[in-house]
Structure formats: structure tokens, C-alpha cells
């Protein structure tokens, strides 16, 4: 998919509004429009990568920083228990093809996820 057709690239360019929790030079963290828990954030790299399965070795630091920043955001907000999720592929629940880390918190989580 071209980045100009990508929903999350549009959010990153502020062409689509979002409630932003955190931003730095590498990523944007904003609240999911259809939350699946009392807290539901999406951490989105500024670089357009369609799927986790497309990751290359030079993306290791970037993807690590998504997880690290999720932990720091949770700590700052006193969210002690939370779930971090990447969906890879439509069958696994991916609907936006620009990688993103879900941070879910504020309720008891079930296992296994559906
Ligand atoms: P996926 O299903 O690809 O893992 O996650 C995509 C997420 O993006 C979904 O949880 C969905 O609710 C969220 N989403 C879709 N469109 C928008 C939007 O325009 N704004 C925001 N903030 N979230 C969106
Ligand atoms: Zn994109």
C-alpha cells in the first residue's frame, strides 16, 4: 500500500485527528478510536512498515523503542498491568497495514485472546 493511502500515515501527518498521549522523533502514541479496554493506546512508528513480518534487521531499534516507550507511558500513568499486542495479517486481526503496538489496560484480561 502507498503511504498516501495509509490511515496511520494520515494520523502521523495530522490529516486525521487523534488524541495524542506521546510523541517523539520515532513514534506517535494515540488513543484507539474503538477502545477494547478502559485504556487502549496505539504506538505507531513514523516510518511506514506494513507488517511485523516485513521487519528488517535495521528496524530492531525502532520496534524495541515501541515496547520501551509503551512501558514508560504506562509507568507515567500508573498503569501497572497491561497487555501489549501486535497483530500481523488479517487473519490475526490486523486491519491497518502500518505496524502498531496496542497497549491495553484497565480491566482483567482473558487468556488466550480470541
Ligand atoms: P489492528 O486491527 O490493525 O491491529 O488495529 C487497528 C486499530 O486502529 C483498531 O483497534 C482500530 O480501532 C483503530 N483505528 C482505526 N481507525 C482509527 C482512527 O481513525 N483513529 C484511531 N485513533 N484509531 C483507529
Ligand atoms: Zn503508513
**Is any atom of ligand 1 closer than 6 Å to the C-beta of 16?**
yes
**C-beta 18 within 6 A of ligand 1:** yes
Residue 49's domain comprises 3-105
CATH number for the domain spanning 82: value is 3.30.428.10
What is the helix (H) or strand (E) element at residue 102, kind and residue range?
A: strand 101-105
Name the domain count of the chain.
Answer: 1
pLDDT of residue 45: 98
Residue 19 lies in a domain: yes
User: What are the pLDDT digits (tens) for 38-88?
Assistant: 999 999 999 999 999 999 999 999 999 999 999 999 999 999 999 999 999
Is there a domain that residue 112 lies in?
A: no
> What is the pLDDT, as a whole number, of residue 114?
86
- List strands edge to edge, sheet with 20-23: 20-23, 27-31, 39-45, 101-105, 82-85
Q: Give the predicted TM-score (pTM) of the model.
A: 0.97
Q: Residue 32's pLDDT band (boundaries 50, 70, 90)?
A: very high
Residue 27 lies in a domain: yes
Q: Is residue 113 part of a domain?
A: no
> Which residues lie across from 20 on neighbouring strands?
30
Residue 2 has pLDDT above 70, yes or no: no
Spatial separation of the C-alpha atoms in residues 89 and 87, rounded to whole Å: 6
Which residues are CB-contacts of 55 (< 8 A; sequence separation ≥ 6)?
49, 63, 99
Ligand showing the shortest atom-to-Cα distance for residue 3: 2
Residue nearest (by alpha carbon) to ligand 1 atom 24? 33
Does some domain include residue 114?
Answer: no
Q: Specify if 110 maps to a domain.
A: no
Amino acid at each position: 500500500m502507498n503511504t498516501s493511502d495509509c490511515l496511520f500515515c494520515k494520523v502521523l501527518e495530522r490529516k486525521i485527528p487523534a488524541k495524542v498521549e506521546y510523541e517523539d522523533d520515532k513514534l506517535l502514541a494515540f488513543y484507539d478510536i474503538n477502545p477494547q479496554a478502559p485504556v487502549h493506546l496505539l504506538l505507531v512508528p513514523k516510518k511506514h512498515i506494513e507488517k511485523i513480518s516485513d521487519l528488517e534487521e535495521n528496524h530492531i531499534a525502532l520496534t524495541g523503542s515501541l515496547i520501551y516507550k509503551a512501558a514508560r507511558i504506562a509507568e507515567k500513568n500508573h498503569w501497572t498491568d497491561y497487555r501489549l499486542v501486535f497483530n500481523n495479517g488479517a487473519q490475526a486481526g490486523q486491519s491497518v497495514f502500518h505496524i502498531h503496538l496496542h497497549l491495553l489496560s484497565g480491566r482483567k484480561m482473558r487468556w488466550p485472546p480470541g
